[in-house]
């Protein structure tokens, strides 16, 4: 009789365990899926951000594969700078060229083998917008950061990373 009673108790405990496992599975699986989706979104956002601002991408492109494009035919641009609080108007006179990755598919397929002359006005406007948001001190001390910001803006504009570097062939700040 004791053996049968123990068997019944064990069977009852197995059934209770099975029910509790089912309840846990039903309540945890949807939350786990939501957490996995969130993690995937965060990871993809981080990857996009890393790719978008990949100025180090020029390090992975061989110099022989880079093609320079002089913005506005190499003419300098005069850009008013943000007020630095000293009461004077400051401006930057910049000659800008873009280094392009000739091995990038967009370079040959979308943008006529790197000839961006049809986009000069858009490129110039983008550069002016970025530079105009900086003070003269920013331009003097953080020139590389400004170049990186211009690069990110241009890569966003073209939705491609075939432009790998922004170069100031001449830079004068007043």
Q: Is residue 57 part of a domain?
A: no
pLDDT value of residue 13: 95
Specify whether 165 is located in the same domain as 104: yes
> How would you label 37-57 residue by residue, b for 16+ Cβ within 10 Å and e otherwise?
eeeeeeeeeeeeeeeeebbeb
Specify whether 123 is located in the same domain as 82: yes
Specify whether 73 is located in the same domain as 125: yes
pLDDT value of residue 16: 96
Classify burial at 139, counting beta carbons within 10 Å of its beta carbon; exposed 0-12, middle 13-18, buried 19 or more. Answer: buried
Q: Read off the pLDDT of residues 36-46 as tens digits, 9 standing for 90 and up.
A: 888 888 877 77
Q: Report whether pLDDT(57) > 70.
A: no
pLDDT value of residue 88: 86
Specify whether 44 is located in the same domain as 66: no
When the pLDDT of each residue in the chain is averaged and rounded to a whole number, the result is: 84
Specify whether 44 is located in the same domain as 129: no
Q: Is residue 133 part of a domain?
A: yes
Q: Is residue 24 part of a domain?
A: yes
Specify whether 28 is located in the same domain as 71: no
Which pLDDT band holds residue 59 (cuts at 50, 70, 90)?
low
Q: Read off the pLDDT of residues 108-151 as tens digits, 9 standing for 90 and up.
A: 777 766 678 888 889 999 999 999 999 888 888 888 889 999 99
Specify whether 4 is located in the same domain as 31: yes
- Structural domain including 79 reads 62-173
Look up the CATH number of the domain holding residue 162: 3.30.479.30
Q: Is residue 5 part of a domain?
A: yes
């Amino acid at each position: 009789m004791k053996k049968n009673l123990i068997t019944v108790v064990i069977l009852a405990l197995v059934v209770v365990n099975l029910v509790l496992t089912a309840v846990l599975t039903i309540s945890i699986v949807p939350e786990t899926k939501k957490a996995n989706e969130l993690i995937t979104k965060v990871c993809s956002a981080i990857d996009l951000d890393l790719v978008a601002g990949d100025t180090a991408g020029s390090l992975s492109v061989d110099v022989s594969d880079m093609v320079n494009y002089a913005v506005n035919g190499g003419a300098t641009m005069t850009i008013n700078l943000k007020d630095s609080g000293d009461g004077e108007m400051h401006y930057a006179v910049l000659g800008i060229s873009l280094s392009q990755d000739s091995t990038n598919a967009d370079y040959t397929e979308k943008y006529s083998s790197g000839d961006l002359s049809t986009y000069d006005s858009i490129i110039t406007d983008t550069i002016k917008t970025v530079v105009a948001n900086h003070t003269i001190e920013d331009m003097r001390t953080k020139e590389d950061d400004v170049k990186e910001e211009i690069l990110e803006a241009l890569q966003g504009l073209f939705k491609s990373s075939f432009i790998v570097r922004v170069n100031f062939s001449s830079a004068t700040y007043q």
